Amino acid sequence: MLSRTAENLFWLARYIERAEYLARTIEATLRATALPSAYIGTTNEWESALATAGAAQGFHARYETADERSVVEYLSFSPDNPSSIRSCIDSARLNSRSVRTALTGEMWDTINSGWIELQSAWSGRLRTRDQLTAFLRFVQEISLRFDGSAYRTMLRNDAYWFSRLGVHLERADNTARILDVKYHVLLPDKEHVGGPLDYYQWTAILRSVSALTAYRWVYRDTLKPWLIADLLILNDTLPRSLASCYGNLVRNLDRIGVAYGRQGPSQRHARGIRNRFEQSRMDDIFQRGLHEFIQEFLADNARLGDHIVTQYLS
Amino acid sequence: MGIAFDEMKGAGEAIRPAYQELSRWLAELPPDTLEFRRREAELLFRRIGITFAVYGDAEAQERLIPFDVVPRIISANEWRVLERGLRQRVQAINMFLRDIYHGRDILRAGLIPDELIFRNPVFRPEMNGQAVPHDVYVHIAGIDVVRVGPEDFFVLEDNARTPSGVSYMLENREIMMRLFPDLFARHRVAPVERYPEELLATLGSVAPHASSTEPTVALLTPGVYNSAFYEHSFLADKLGIELVEGRDLIVRNGEVLMRTTEGMKRVDVLYRRVDDDFLDPLTFRPDSALGVPGLMSAYAAGNITLANAVGTGIADDKAVYSYMPDIVRFYLGEEPILKNVPTWRCREDDDLAYVLDHLDKLVVKEVHGSGGYGMLIGPAATQAQIDSFRDRLKHDPANFIAQPTLALSTCPTSTAAGLAPRHVDLRPFVLTGRDRITVVPGGLTRVAMQQDSLVVNSSQGGGTKDTWILHEDI
């Protein structure tokens, strides 16, 4: 397939994944900030929402303080923010238009009708909480429909695999960003039982990767920071964990390698990261420093993106 | 301009045979059905993304072409004549192009003035003596035909460069079949759905001689911001070929290669929807970012077929148009089946004098204009418009031709005030491959949505209709 087509599919999937992640981040932040400060603490949750979205710098170039109104506006609709939900959907639609031949009708319809609805129904500012919640659900549904229609309708060939690479690379990046911003509340302190403050911080983290219920099923335990870290990093049954993303990245890169009869730096690099997850235990990671681990991972993940671009997309 | 011929009602009161079933059906239809279906169609178009961009209109970056749900019907008899005429005309056009870029018999015979060719900006000296596979220059032609009476079809324009609109022929039909299955059941309408297959066969048949048995065909688009981009992606999809942009291609060792995820892959036939000027910055406009540097050298080496060939504009130029009847006679020794609209060439003194005296009655067009821009429709123009046009005309007469205002035929069209006659034209598509010419029974009917308007161009608010060619005589 054309390199440009593969590139478009890869980015299309990333934009949609990112839009969903932003929607979930805003949702989780709305929930957290609705609590009395005795429960959630005095940290500015909107500030950390910006940080997990990687949008703090751009935001502060335009706004003074991070509050609900300004952050929601910036993360959802701002055309000045190249990673706002709206910009993501716009870019996804533009990418889809140029690679329509590589998309199934159902996938195109998801993106195009989502984009049309965004233009018409959600064009103005959202005045009420109700409208905002409905909007955030609408964004997550686009992503679900997109993923579902890709899964159900696409041929299992390189077009599908490149689009999966986009999903999992972006997903891993998003999960790692939350960990990067919130790692301090996850540091194990065996003496510390965890007051209400921590509890609501932890649930906010789990919610933003839609893993609160999953936690209970996996560990059948009360919330423990090291288990939360384990779930998000090493547990490959959770679709948004770093380990699961890398399992998928390796699988899809291998399929491409087999189909093209050739392996390259992308395959080797992804396998290296996956192996590290397989051989790591949470204790070791904490020992070596959770924050360092996450930062290293973010850089590694970005490097895989570069390898994919050099090997296939240019 | 007289009263227009109505394709349903004809001259008298009796419904013409081809329209009888439609007319009965329309009469039975509950009120508002057409309006309801029109909205449904619009929604479908919007969702499928059948939109086009209007240049210089930032507000409406993506617009829908208005779609009229009342079909335009052409009888089997009428189509037979049209089809023969189209084949004849396109065959002559291809012979003319071959001659212009080789022996130039027609110039030596004195039928066309030399300077009309050699001073023409769309004449491409690069094509002199250049062989093209099987002598086919125009693989895809869109011939604009208008009707003024029961038997009177005229060719208004030959589009021999990169004619567009065929996606509307196909999509209009799909949508009509979805909206009005019952109406189809009551007619025998010739299908158009084979067009993509015929197009692919046509393109494959003109691959360079040296290419492998399974030639690789790709469609070259200027990109997602081009007004016809939807059509490009639609056709690439239907043909199962890659939709490439200039940046996807490189020329290496005289071959055209496309960048794929598995490395470089050779392209044999390029269905290019990029104008000559932008094809190759080394040969044509150096500022073009849409083209492929070196493409013309690969073309000259015979390693790639461009469809349509470079330099075909000399055949659909509006000044050359006026010579088409002579061109048909010269190459085929036959009388043209399709008539030309009488045309005054303002480059000739007598004609110019006549045109200047009758500006209020004529349509005056720029020789290289298209899309309905830069033209004067005398009867509809104000005195001030006529006066300013007169100055332009006097300043550069060779740049203009003039034609009588034709009373284009009308078809019943759904309007806010109910069914009403609106003027239409027709663009059938003619495919020419190695050993055959194919005309899919159908075409793009464009309709002027405004009452009495004669401008059917989509860039100026014109709409489209599904065009039905009846399969059997009635």
List the domain range (segments joined by +) for residue B354.
342-405
**Which of A91, A94, A95, A97 would best serve as a mutation to test chain B binding (most B beta carbons within 10 A)?**
A97
Q: How far is A4 from chain B (nearest CA, A)?
A: 7
User: Are B261 and A313 an interchain contact pair (Cβ–Cβ within 8 Å)?
Assistant: yes
B27 by Cβ neighbours in 10 Å (0-12 / 13-18 / 19+) ranks as exposed
Reduced to 3 states (helix: H, G, I; strand: E, B; else coil), residue A203 is helix
pLDDT of residue B46: 84
Residues of A in contact with B244 (CB under 8 A): 2
Q: What are the contacts of A301-309 at 24+ separation with CB within 8 A?
A: A301/A169, A301/A172, A301/A173, A301/A176, A301/A273, A302/A173, A303/A269, A304/A169, A304/A249, A304/A266, A304/A269, A304/A270, A304/A273, A305/A169, A307/A264, A307/A265, A307/A266, A307/A269, A308/A10, A308/A165, A308/A169, A308/A253, A308/A266, A309/A7
User: Are A3 and B248 an interchain contact pair (Cβ–Cβ within 8 Å)?
Assistant: yes
**Residue B385 pLDDT exceeds 80:** yes
Nearest alpha-carbon partner for B262 in A157, A282, A121: A157
pTM of the predicted protein model: 0.88
What DSSP character marks residue A312? I
Q: How far is A260 from chain B (nearest CA, A)?
A: 6
**Which of A100, A162, A262, A308 would best serve as a mutation to test chain B binding (most B beta carbons within 10 A)?**
A100
User: Are B245 and A4 an interchain contact pair (Cβ–Cβ within 8 Å)?
Assistant: yes
Rounded Cα distance, B232 and B227, in Å: 10
**Is residue B168 included in any domain, yes or no?**
no
Q: Name the residue of chain B whose CA is nearest to A311's CA.
A: B261
**Residue B13 pLDDT exceeds 80:** no
User: Are A98 and B244 an interchain contact pair (Cβ–Cβ within 8 Å)?
Assistant: no
- Residues A128-187 have pLDDT tens digits of 888 899 999 999 999 999 999 999 999 999 999 999 999 999 999 999 999 988 888 887
Do A169 and A307 share a domain, yes or no?
A: yes
Q: Mind listing the pLDDT tens digit of every residue in chain A (314 residues)?
A: 999 999 999 999 999 999 999 999 999 899 888 887 777 677 788 998 999 999 999 999 999 999 999 999 999 999 899 999 999 999 999 999 988 888 998 999 999 999 988 887 776 666 788 889 999 999 999 999 999 999 999 999 999 999 999 999 999 999 999 998 888 888 766 545 556 667 888 888 898 888 989 999 999 988 888 899 999 999 999 999 999 999 999 999 999 999 999 999 999 999 999 999 999 999 999 998 999 999 999 999 999 999 999 999 98
**Which of B174, B224, B244, B261 would best serve as a mutation to test chain A binding (most A beta carbons within 10 A)?**
B261
pLDDT bucket at B53, cuts 50 / 70 / 90: low
Q: Which whole number is the average pLDDT over B226-231?
A: 90
Which of B234, B248, B261 faces A312 most closely, judged by CB atoms? B261
**Is residue B392 included in any domain, yes or no?**
yes
* B255-275 burial: b if 16+ Cβ within 10 Å, else e: bbbbbbbeeeeebbbbbbbbb
pLDDT bucket at B447, cuts 50 / 70 / 90: very high
Residues of A in contact with B233 (CB under 8 A): 97-98, 100-101
Cβ atoms of B173 and B442 within 8 Å: the answer is yes
The dihedral formed by the CA atoms of A240, A241, A245 and A246, expressed in degrees to the nearest 10? 180
For residue B453, give both structure tokens. Answer: 């308007």
Flag whether residue A101 sits within 8 Å of chain B, measured between CB atoms: yes
**Is residue B361 included in any domain, yes or no?**
yes
Do A142 and A164 share a domain, yes or no?
A: no
Residues of B in contact with A308 (CB under 8 A): none
**Is residue B315 included in any domain, yes or no?**
no
CATH code, B395: 3.30.1490.270
Our count of domains for chain A comes to 2
**Residue B458 pLDDT exceeds 80:** no
Our count of domains for chain B comes to 1
pLDDT of residue B410: 95
Q: Which of A99, A125, A154 is the last residue of a domain?
A: A154
Do A171 and A309 share a domain, yes or no?
A: yes
Which of A2, A98, A108 faces B260 most closely, judged by CB atoms? A2
- Residues B97-115 have pLDDT tens digits of 999 999 999 999 999 999 9
Cβ atoms of B356 and B390 within 8 Å: the answer is yes
List the domain range (segments joined by +) for residue A234.
157-314
Do A117 and A226 share a domain, yes or no?
A: no
**Residue B404 pLDDT exceeds 80:** yes
Cβ atoms of B469 and B441 within 8 Å: the answer is yes
B174 by Cβ neighbours in 10 Å (0-12 / 13-18 / 19+) ranks as middle
User: Are B258 and A256 an interchain contact pair (Cβ–Cβ within 8 Å)?
Assistant: no
Flag whether residue A263 sits within 8 Å of chain B, measured between CB atoms: no
Token match 């239809």: residue? B29
pLDDT of residue B325: 96
User: Which of A302-306, B191-195, B212-216 shows the lowest per-residue confidence on average (mean pLDDT)?
Assistant: B212-216
Residues of A in contact with B49 (CB under 8 A): 97, 100, 108, 112
**Is residue B444 included in any domain, yes or no?**
no
Residues of A in contact with B258 (CB under 8 A): 2
What value does the mean pLDDT of chain B take? 91
Which of A2, A97, A158 faces B248 most closely, judged by CB atoms? A2
Q: Which of A154, A184, A202 is the last residue of a domain?
A: A154
Do A289 and A259 share a domain, yes or no?
A: yes
Q: Name the residue of chain B whose CA is nearest to A313's CA.
A: B261
Q: Which helix (H) or strand (E) holds A185?
A: helix A158-186
| Residues of B contacting chain A (CB within 8 angstroms) | 46-49, 223-224, 229, 233-234, 236-237, 242-245, 247-248, 258-262
Q: Name the residue of chain B whose CA is nearest to A106's CA.
A: B48
pLDDT of residue A124: 64
Rounded Cα distance, A106 and B33, in Å: 28
Rounded Cα distance, B363 and B376, in Å: 6
**Is residue B36 included in any domain, yes or no?**
no
User: Are A101 and B237 an interchain contact pair (Cβ–Cβ within 8 Å)?
Assistant: yes
pLDDT of residue B2: 59
For residue A262, give both structure tokens. Answer: 């050739």
Flag whether residue A113 sits within 8 Å of chain B, measured between CB atoms: yes
**Is residue B459 included in any domain, yes or no?**
no
Flag whether residue A309 sits within 8 Å of chain B, measured between CB atoms: no
Q: How far is A291 from chain B (nearest CA, A)?
A: 36
Q: Which of A116, A131, A154 is the last residue of a domain?
A: A154
Residues of A in contact with B262 (CB under 8 A): 260
**Is residue B375 included in any domain, yes or no?**
yes
Q: How far is A127 from chain B (nearest CA, A)?
A: 26
Q: Which whole number is the average pLDDT over B386-394?
A: 91
pLDDT bucket at B454, cuts 50 / 70 / 90: confident
Which of A100, A113, A116 faces B233 most closely, judged by CB atoms? A100
pLDDT of residue B429: 98
Chain A from 160 to 179: CB within 8 A of any B CB: 162
Do A88 and A132 share a domain, yes or no?
A: yes
User: Are B262 and A256 an interchain contact pair (Cβ–Cβ within 8 Å)?
Assistant: no
